[in-house]
């Protein structure tokens, strides 16, 4: 079962590779996505009966994250055939293989129970997404790819060093190889704290780079800016989710070692810094995709802040992973459609998008309202939950800063986005042949509907899954 | 013989890297540093089972020969051009590297070593290499020099991993070897592309994307 999660996407990738060129290659993606999603759900339903493996196991925390990534992937995969049909001149082989390779490696990260394997999986997700970044094959996308590779490779090197620090602490605590995560959590109290602290700082910087927390987020605006919307979705909803999971794995070791307060201070600081940074760069941002990239930086900050507040806020932060990923896929895929119609992502050239592209425009507007935390969408639930936990637990300063930043970001983002959507299209602006079609809008509507459902009603099994995942984050079995 | 002598040499190479303005010399220095790492690894063990020899050999081969050769080839194929001035001058980076070394020693004193490693310079050498790598990555304009910076940073991670290599060979060897292979793969491809697309590896020209 566990191996099927990893192997199905990889087999599908091999199938794509050996198929003859043509659009049917793109149709493998939705099939593989739906199968993978079904496998994740089946594995979660049967997790009580699955043999607990030492190296690989699907626990509630990994299961929740993989469920999010698999859903996002399926949404993108449903969008892919219609999108690729617009770009028939391109070879879909590399695109499909890279997408499916990413899904396989994300599954590896989710199920791995050893920090070394976790790191290998994260490195592999970075590599498999690199060809996607260079998909447009022009100078600007090359520049974005170079920055992504260099900055993320440095981040991964630091994460490896942090992993080694934790391993050295484990060695001093009397643990031998192999250092499974469960053994690390169980024996955390006996490890020397200086090494654990230093290790966590390195891991926060390393995996934080991958998540895109400020000030290590500098690859993000370029990477999101120069790639197709579908790749932006995979990066903003998939890669960052897995990086967050990797960080949480180590956070639970620290929490078990009694270093929770130290780590939480760091996370709150990083969270607020990321939100501030995102706010500053959102003001009068002239590029649609870069705006979304800064919004992603902001929401990574919210995740870090939530875990940093702790208690119930941890649970809301985990919920926010899903909320953010779903709404981000609406925004990225929707921005793709808008950019295609106006043939520019420069906001000065785009106006009246709702009139020209009613479905994509409306989805984008609702997605914008959702991402800034308006009810009744899912992000509202988590943002409200995190803020009220912060204020309720006596973190008045941090809590009010959090709320003030959210309000500021709402204004900054709104003043940039609303003129683009409302009004009449400027007659002088370019109009390409692109029109909204079912294949290019249905995934958006679906993602928005999911975000709406999650915002109003969380099914019972998911609630149990989330609360068990939150316990795992806090270092309790 | 303790490995401290070699570690000191590795730290000295970091200073030379920061002070050097010529790309070809930096590549040579990085190759030398990589080769020394393999020597330190051999020194750590009293007898050499197959997996230790394999790791030492691949370290020396990849860090000492393959990657430098790739970088040299990329350098040779480029049109001769003047070195662009770095963002921060050579003297200032040298001073920063010295300050970083001091900081590395202070930090290392706060991290208690295990009985078997007491008195060794692994931790300060590792942190210093990390710092030097960062300096090169952030202050140099040429893509090739940034790659050298990344290599030095990786060498820092490698140095620390040597403290673990006896007790946790599996974790260290897979992690480090994979990192090496990825490094070549990725940097090789990107450098090639940058060359064809821009006809130069001055990353300063890779500066169209900004706010």
pLDDT tens sequence across A444-459: 999 999 999 999 999 9
| Whole-number Å distance between alpha carbons of A123 and B183 | 11
Option in B112, B154, B175 nearest A119 (CB): B175
Based on the structure, what is the number of domains in chain B?
1
| Beta bridge pairs of residue A346 | A287
Q: Does B210 map to a domain? A: no
Quick one: CA dihedral A118, A122, A128, A132, positive or negative? positive
pLDDT tens sequence across A229-248: 899 999 999 999 999 999 99
- For B197, the closest chain A residue by CA position comes to A139
Measured between its terminal Cα atoms, the distance across chain A in Å is: 22
- Percent of all residues in chain A with a pLDDT value above 90, rounded to a whole number: 65
Tell me the shortest Cα–Cα distance from A311 to chain B, in angstroms: 31
pLDDT value, residue B87 = 82
CB A28 within 8 A of CB A15: yes
Option in B114, B143, B187 nearest A171 (CB): B114
- For B159, the closest chain A residue by CA position comes to A161
Range of the domain at B191: 4-205
| Beta bridge pairs of residue B202 | B142
- CA distances from residue A91 to A27, A94, A97, A135 in whole angstroms, order as listed: 14, 7, 11, 10
- Percent of all residues in chain A with a pLDDT value above 70, rounded to a whole number: 99
Tell me the shortest Cα–Cα distance from B170 to chain A, in angstroms: 8
- Averaged pLDDT, A411-428: 86
Measured between beta carbons, the chain A residues lying within 8 angstroms of B111 are: 194-195, 198
pLDDT band at A290 (very low <50, low <70, confident <90, very high): very high
pLDDT value, residue A282 = 92
Residue A96 CA from chain centroid, whole number: 19
Option in B157, B170, B194 nearest A157 (CB): B157
Measured between beta carbons, the chain B residues lying within 8 angstroms of A167 are: 164, 168, 171
Tell me the shortest Cα–Cα distance from A448 to chain B, in angstroms: 30
Residue A169 CA from chain centroid, whole number: 30
Q: Please judge whether B168 and A176 are an interchain contact, meaning their C-beta atoms are less than 8 angstroms apart.
A: yes
Q: What is the pLDDT along chain B (211 residues), one digit of tens a residue?
A: 578 889 999 999 999 999 888 888 999 999 999 999 999 989 888 888 888 888 889 889 888 898 888 888 877 777 666 667 778 888 888 899 999 999 999 998 888 888 777 788 899 999 999 999 999 988 887 778 888 898 899 999 999 998 888 888 878 888 887 877 777 776 776 677 666 655 555 666 666 666 6
pLDDT tens sequence across A460-471: 899 999 999 999
pLDDT tens sequence across A435-445: 888 889 999 99
pLDDT value, residue A420 = 87
Tell me the shortest Cα–Cα distance from A420 to chain B, in angstroms: 19
Option in A123, A154, A168 nearest B150 (CB): A154
- For B115, the closest chain A residue by CA position comes to A172
Q: Please judge whether A146 and B171 are an interchain contact, meaning their C-beta atoms are less than 8 angstroms apart.
A: no
Tell me the shortest Cα–Cα distance from A119 to chain B, in angstroms: 8
pLDDT value, residue B86 = 78
Which of left, alpha, beta for B199 (phi over 0: left; psi -120 to 50: alpha)? Answer: left
Option in B160, B167, B194 nearest A176 (CB): B167
pLDDT value, residue B39 = 92
Q: Does B86 map to a domain? A: yes
Based on the structure, what is the number of domains in chain A?
1
Range of the domain at A127: 2-473
Lowest mean pLDDT among A143-152, A309-318, A329-338, B34-43: A143-152
Mean pLDDT of all residues belonging to chain A: 91
Best mutation target among B144, B154, B169, B171 (most A Cβ atoms within 10 Å) is B171
pLDDT value, residue B115 = 77
Give ipTM to 2 decimals: 0.91
- For B177, the closest chain A residue by CA position comes to A120
Q: Which long-range contacts (CB under 8 A, 24 or more apart) does B198-201 make?
A: B198/A139, B198/A142, B199/B79, B200/B78, B200/B79, B200/B81, B201/B74, B201/B78, B201/B142, B201/B143, B201/B144
Q: Does B55 map to a domain? A: yes
Tell me the shortest Cα–Cα distance from B159 to chain A, in angstroms: 10
pLDDT tens sequence across A327-383: 999 999 999 999 888 888 888 888 888 888 889 999 999 999 999 999 889 999 999
Measured between beta carbons, the chain A residues lying within 8 angstroms of B164 are: 164, 167-168, 171
Q: Does B73 map to a domain? A: yes
pLDDT value, residue B172 = 81
pLDDT value, residue B88 = 81
Q: Please judge whether B137 and A144 are an interchain contact, meaning their C-beta atoms are less than 8 angstroms apart.
A: no
pLDDT band at A98 (very low <50, low <70, confident <90, very high): very high
Q: Please judge whether B186 and A149 are an interchain contact, meaning their C-beta atoms are less than 8 angstroms apart.
A: yes
Q: Is the pLDDT of residue A424 over 90?
A: no
- Averaged pLDDT, A132-138: 83
DSSP H helices, A52-138, are 60-85, 92-111, 115-133
pLDDT value, residue A209 = 95
Return the number of other C-beta atoms located less than 10 Å from residue A213's C-beta.
28
Option in B126, B153, B178 nearest A123 (CB): B178
């Amino acid at each position: 079962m566990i191996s099927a999660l990893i192997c199905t996407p990889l087999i599908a990738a091999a199938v794509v590779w050996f198929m003859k060129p043509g659009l049917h290659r793109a149709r493998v993606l939705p099939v593989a996505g739906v199968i993978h999603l079904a496998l994740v759900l089946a594995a979660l339903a049967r997790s009580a009966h699955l043999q607990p493996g030492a190296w690989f196991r699907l626990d509630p925390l990994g299961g929740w994250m993989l469920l999010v990534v698999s859903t996002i992937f399926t949404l993108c995969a449903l969008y892919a055939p219609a999108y690729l049909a617009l770009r028939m001149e391109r070879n879909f082989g590399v695109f499909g293989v890279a997408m499916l390779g990413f899904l396989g490696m994300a599954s590896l990260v989710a199920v791995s129970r050893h920090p070394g394997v976790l790191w290998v999986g994260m490195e592999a997700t970075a590599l498999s997404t690199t060809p996607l970044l260079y998909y447009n094959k022009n100078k600007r996308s090359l520049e974005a790819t170079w920055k992504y590779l260099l900055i993320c490779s440095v981040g991964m090197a630091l994460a490896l060093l942090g992993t080694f620090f934790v391993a050295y602490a484990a060695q001093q605590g009397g643990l031998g190889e192999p250092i499974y995560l469960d053994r690390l959590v169980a024996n955390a109290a006996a490890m020397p704290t200086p090494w654990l602290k230093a290790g966590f700082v390195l891991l926060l910087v390393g995996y934080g780079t991958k998540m895109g927390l400020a000030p290590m987020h500098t690859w993000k605006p370029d990477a999101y800016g120069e790639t197709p919307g579908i790749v932006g979705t995979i990066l903003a909803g998939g890669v960052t989710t897995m990086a967050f999971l990797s960080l949480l794995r180590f956070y639970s070791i620290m929490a078990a070692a009694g270093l929770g307060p130290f780590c939480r201070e760091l996370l709150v600081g990083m969270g607020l810094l990321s939100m501030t940074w995102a706010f500053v760069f959102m003001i009068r941002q002239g590029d649609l995709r870069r705006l979304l990239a800064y919004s992603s930086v902001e929401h990574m900050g919210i995740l870090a802040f939530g875990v940093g507040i702790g208690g119930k806020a941890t649970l809301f932060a985990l919920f926010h992973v899903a909320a953010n990923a779903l709404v981000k896929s609406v925004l990225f895929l929707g921005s793709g459609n808008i950019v295609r119609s106006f043939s520019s992502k420069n906001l000065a050239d785009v106006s009246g998008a709702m009139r020209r592209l009613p479905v994509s425009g409306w989805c984008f507007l609702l997605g914008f309202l959702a991402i800034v935390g308006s009810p009744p969408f899912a992000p509202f639930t988590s943002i409200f939950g995190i803020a009220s936990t912060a204020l309720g637990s006596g973190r008045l300063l941090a809590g009010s800063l959090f709320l003030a930043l959210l309000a500021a970001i709402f204004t900054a983002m709104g003043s940039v986005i609303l003129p683009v959507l409302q009004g009449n299209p400027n007659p002088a602006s370019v109009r390409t042949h692109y029109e909204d079609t079912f294949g290019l809008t249905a995934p958006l509507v679906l993602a928005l509907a999911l975000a709406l459902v999650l915002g109003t009603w969380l099914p019972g099994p998911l609630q149990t899954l989330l609360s068990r995942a939150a316990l795992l984050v806090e270092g309790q079995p | 013989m303790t490995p401290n002598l070699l570690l000191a040499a590795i730290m000295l190479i970091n200073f030379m890297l920061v002070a050097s303005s010529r790309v070809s010399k930096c590549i040579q220095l990085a190759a030398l540093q990589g080769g020394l790492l393999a020597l330190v690894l051999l020194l750590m063990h009293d007898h050499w089972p197959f997996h230790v020899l394999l790791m030492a050999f691949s370290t020396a081969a990849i860090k000492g020969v393959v990657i430098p050769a790739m970088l040299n080839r990329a350098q040779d194929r480029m049109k001769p051009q003047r070195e662009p001035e770095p963002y921060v001058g050579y003297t200032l980076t040298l001073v920063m590297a010295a300050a970083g070394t001091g900081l590395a020693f202070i930090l290392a004193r706060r991290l208690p070593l295990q009985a078997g490693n007491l008195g060794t310079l692994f931790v300060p050498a590792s942190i210093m290499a990390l710092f030097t790598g960062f300096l090169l990555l952030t202050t140099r304009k040429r893509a090739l020099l940034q790659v050298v910076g990344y290599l030095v940073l990786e060498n820092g991670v490698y140095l620390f991993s040597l403290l673990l290599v006896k007790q946790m060979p599996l974790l260290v060897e897979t992690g480090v070897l994979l990192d090496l292979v990825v490094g070549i793969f990725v940097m090789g491809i990107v450098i090639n592309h940058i060359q064809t697309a821009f006809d130069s590896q001055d990353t300063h020209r890779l500066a169209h994307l900004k706010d």
